[in-house]
Amino acid sequence: QVQVVESGGGLVQPGGSLSLSCVASGTRILFTSMGWYRQVPGKERELVATIMSGRFINYGDSVKDRFTVSRPGAKNTVYLQMNSLKPEDTAVYYCKAQFKEFTYWGQGTQVTVSS
């Protein structure tokens, strides 16, 4: 059974940095696409960053130039480096792993940006 597990969330002050990690396990499949989405109560889940086939990267407009997504080698692991964090980045961050029609989500990790 596939499991997607995020880690690294927490509380950080505005202007600070935080790193998230995600590991997908329980399968021999190498996911084609992995990435990050976030959601706040009452709003739809939105794209943060995805990386496809290890090289095609897509960022949400609100995080461009501040966040960096990476996926080292042929592994079902993806990272998100978040810099210059703002209060509006506060959300639950979800990891997504996708292979063809199969999509798996993690349980999410809370990121709170507050002084």
One-character DSSP codes across 28-70: S---SEEEEEEE-TTS--EEEEEEETTTEEEE-TTTTTTEEEE
Residue 73's pLDDT is 80
Give tens-digit pLDDT for 57-108. Answer: 999 999 999 999 999 888 999 999 999 999 999 999 999 999 999 999 999 9
Residue 37's pLDDT is 98
Residue 55's pLDDT is 85
Q: How far apart are CA 108 and CA 115, in angstroms?
A: 23
Q: How far apart are CA 93 and CA 57, in angstroms?
A: 18
Contacts of 89 (CB under 8 A, 6+ apart): 38, 63, 82, 111, 113
Residue 104, phi then psi, degrees to nearest 5: -130, 140
Give tens-digit pLDDT for 10-59. Answer: 999 999 999 999 999 999 999 999 999 999 999 999 999 999 987 899 99
Residue 67's pLDDT is 98
Q: How far apart are CA 88 and CA 21, in angstroms?
A: 21
Query: What confidence category does residue 115 fall into, taking pLDDT thresholds of 50, 70 and 90?
Result: very high
Residue 42, phi then psi, degrees to nearest 5: 85, 0
